[in-house]
Amino acid sequence: MNVLGIIAEYNPFHKGHSYHLKESVKKTNAGFTVCVMSGNFMQRGEPAMVNKWTRARMAVENGVDLVLELPFTYACNNAEYFAKGGIDILNRLGCITHLSFGSESGDLELLSHTASLLANESRELKESIKEFTDRGFSFPKARYEAVRKCAGEEAASVLNSANNILAVEYLKQLHRTGSRIEPITVIRYGTGYHDIDPFQNIASASAIRRKINEANHFECIRDFMPKETLQILKEIDKGVNVIFNDFFQMLVYQVLTSSAEYLGTVLSATEGLENKVKKAVSDAKNMETLIKAVKSKRYTETRIQRLLSHILIGLDKDSFQLILKERINYCRVLAFNKKGAELLKQIKLTGCNSIPVLTNINRELTAGAKEWNLLKYDILASDIYNLVADGEIYKNSDYVVQPFKDFE
DSSP 225-274: S-HHHHHHHHHH-TT-S--GGGGHHHHHHHHHTS-HHHHTTBTT--TTHH
Q: How far apart are CA 406 and CA 408, in angstroms?
A: 6
Distances (CA, A) of 334 to 24, 53, 54, 56: 21, 6, 9, 6
* SS3 letters across 30-86: CCEEEEEEECCECCCCCECCCCHHHHHHHHHHCCCCEEEEECHHHHCCCHHHHHHHH
Q: Which residue from 306, 285, 257, 334 is spatially nearest to 66, judged by alpha carbons? A: 334
pLDDT tens, per residue, the chain with 408 residues: 899 999 999 999 999 999 999 999 999 999 999 999 999 999 999 999 999 999 999 999 999 999 999 999 999 999 999 999 999 999 999 999 999 999 999 999 999 999 999 999 999 999 999 999 999 898 999 999 999 999 999 999 999 999 999 999 999 999 999 999 999 999 986 545 445 554 456 677 778 877 877 766 677 777 888 999 989 988 886 667 899 999 999 999 999 999 999 999 999 999 899 999 999 999 999 999 999 999 988 889 999 999 999 999 999 999 999 999 999 999 999 999 999 999 999 999 999 999 999 999 999 988 889 999 999 999 999 999 999 999 999 999 999 999 999 987
Question: Which pTM value belongs to this model?
Answer: 0.94
Kindly report the number of other CB atoms within 10 A of residue 218's CB atom: 19
Assign 100 to helix, strand or coil.
strand
Q: How far apart are CA 101 and CA 18, in angstroms?
A: 13
Q: Which DSSP symbol is given to 365? A: S
Residues paired with residue 336 on neighbouring β-strands, in sequence order: 66, 405
pLDDT at 199: 47
Phi (first) and psi of residue 113, to 5 degrees: -60, -50
Kindly report the number of other CB atoms within 10 A of residue 322's CB atom: 14
